[in-house]
Amino acid sequence: MEAVVLAGGLGTRLREKVNNIPKVLAPAAGRPFLFYVLDYLYANGVTKAVLAVSYLGEQIQKTVGGVYKGMIIDYSFEKTPLGTGGAVREALKQCGEDYVFVLNGDTVFDADLREMYKKREKGKAVLAVKYLENTSRYGTVVLSDEKIVSFKEKREKGKGYINGGVYLVDKNISGAFPGKENFSLENDFFQKNTDILKNFVSDGYFIDMGIPEDYETAEKTIKNAVSPKMGKAVFLDRDGTINENTGHLFKKEDFLFLETVPDAIREFRKRGYYVVVITNQAGVAKGLYTEKDIEILNGYIQTELLKTGAYIDLFLHCPHHPEGIVEEYRKNCLCRKPGTGMIQKALEYFKDNGVILDLKNSVLAGDMESDLETGKNAGIGFCAGVGNKKIENSSYADLYIDKLYDIFNYIK
Ligand SMILES: [Mg+2]
């Protein structure tokens, strides 16, 4: 899933509190507010975000960089003021998928994007809305079944639904945008085209940094803004599964992706899988190379993958061996496959990042019996043997395939 984040706000109302920094970088509980928005996107399975920036945009680029957690971050620079609508039109050009989320970078609304994505529809925009007993600080929307029939300005008091600033749009609706360059997505497009709008009701945490009272509240509540979301992962063995197994490999010069692997990793991400490498590296215990060498190689693999739009969320390795010569690493451990220690570590990592991994809906692929046994021991729903005829009839495997990409003939 992809998202456009509107991060061009001037923060006029926050000026007293934040000077000379873009509104989305205003600190909340010690971190730039935008990081909470990005954390939210990552927990929801978004793999690429385009930040639409203008005022001091370079500062945002310097702070966030080109990758945040496992998300690829692109930037759309607004040279002249375009309004939210014009900024979205430009940023959508950098998106590759048919449906794209659009969010305000100064708002966190903890709507479940995976659920919201199910409401996508050709030619339509889905707006996440929230019910409030007192809507006085916000404009409201009037719902009728699945639709949004009208928008209302801020008013004194009363209950109702507010627009949470989280949208899912068919990318092609930009063709119906107003002809002018500078326009508001909400006022000049959504409000005048309510026939294309659907609602998605969520009672998730909501905070709008542009509203001073909300900004005050953020300090206390933002840390728990994102509730855990259910996700799935693919666990990939390394040597013999993603690269040619040359035996105790640790130099980038010896690293060669097997056919279809970068494409497969990109496709896994597109289908909503987090990608985790789990690899036994007894060469560390045997004194052939160090954990630092593994780290350097991982950096190389990541750089090569990024060139193709793919990315690995998490690299895990087991450096131990019961007969190792390096004392520190000589032991019977729980992480060496077929032990499930690395899967447990992955569960913890994702939990810390707001994701509860559903192992039954997850996938494992490996070229050795011990990989497949690991998968079964951990309760992973689908285990595929790949690229090694010796494991073709493994009782631990649900399937045998020659090339990793072939897996997509069998999984969703
Ligand atoms: Mg292997």
Per-residue pLDDT of 43-83, as tens digits, reads 999 999 999 999 789 999 999 999 999 999 999 999 888 99
**How far, in Å, from the CA of 329 to the mean position of ligand 1?**
20
* Residue 390's pLDDT band (cuts 50, 70, 90): very high
Does 11 have pLDDT greater than 80? no
Specify the 3-state DSSP secondary structure of 169. strand
Q: What does the pLDDT look like over 217-232, one tens digit per residue?
A: 888 899 888 999 999 9
Does 118 have pLDDT greater than 90? yes
- For residue 23, the model assigns a pLDDT of 87
Q: What does the pLDDT look like over 286-306, one tens digit per residue?
A: 999 999 999 999 999 999 999
Catalytic residue (choose from 106, 170, 237, 313): 237
Does 16 have pLDDT greater than 90? no
Bond from prior residue into 338 cis (ω within 30 degrees of 0): yes
Cα separations in angstroms, 156 against 139, 259, 411: 10, 63, 52
* Residue 164's pLDDT band (cuts 50, 70, 90): very high
**How far, in Å, from the CA of 367 to the mean position of ligand 1?**
5
d(CA 170, CA 346): 34
- For residue 154, the model assigns a pLDDT of 76
- Judge residue 210's burial from the number of C-beta atoms within 10 Å of its C-beta, 0-12 exposed, 13-18 middle, 19 or more buried: middle
Residue 239 appears among annotated catalytic residues: yes
- For residue 19, the model assigns a pLDDT of 67
More confident residue, 74 or 157: 74
β-pairing, 71-77 vs 67-68, is antiparallel
Share of the chain above pLDDT 70, in %: 97
**How far, in Å, from the CA of 352 to the mean position of ligand 1?**
28
Q: Provide the CB-side half-sphere exposure for 10 (13 A, CA).
A: 6
- For residue 17, the model assigns a pLDDT of 59
Q: Between 3.40.30.10, 3.90.550.10, 1.50.10.10, 3.40.50.2300, what CATH number should domain 2-227 receive? A: 3.90.550.10
Q: What does the pLDDT look like over 307-326, one tens digit per residue?
A: 999 999 999 999 999 999 99
CB 136, CB 251: distance < 8 Å = no
Does 183 have pLDDT greater than 70? yes
Domain spanning 230-409: which CATH class is it, in words? alpha beta
Does 277 have pLDDT greater than 70? yes
Domain boundaries, the chain: 2-227, 230-409
- For residue 202, the model assigns a pLDDT of 97
Share of the chain above pLDDT 90, in %: 86
Closest CA to 34 of 162, 218, 231: 218
Amino acid in position 237: D
DSSP 352-372: HTTEEE-GGG-EEEESSHHHH
**How far, in Å, from the CA of 235 to the mean position of ligand 1?**
12
**How far, in Å, from the CA of 402 to the mean position of ligand 1?**
14
Does 151 have pLDDT greater than 80? yes
**How far, in Å, from the CA of 280 to the mean position of ligand 1?**
8
- For residue 12, the model assigns a pLDDT of 56
Residue 195 appears among annotated catalytic residues: no
- For residue 137, the model assigns a pLDDT of 84
Averaged pLDDT, 395-408: 96
Catalytic residue (choose from 39, 208, 239, 313): 239
**How far, in Å, from the CA of 296 to the mean position of ligand 1?**
19
**How far, in Å, from the CA of 400 to the mean position of ligand 1?**
14
Angle, CA 394 vertex, CA 390 and CA 399 arms, to 5°: 100
Kindly report the average pLDDT of the chain as a whole number.
94
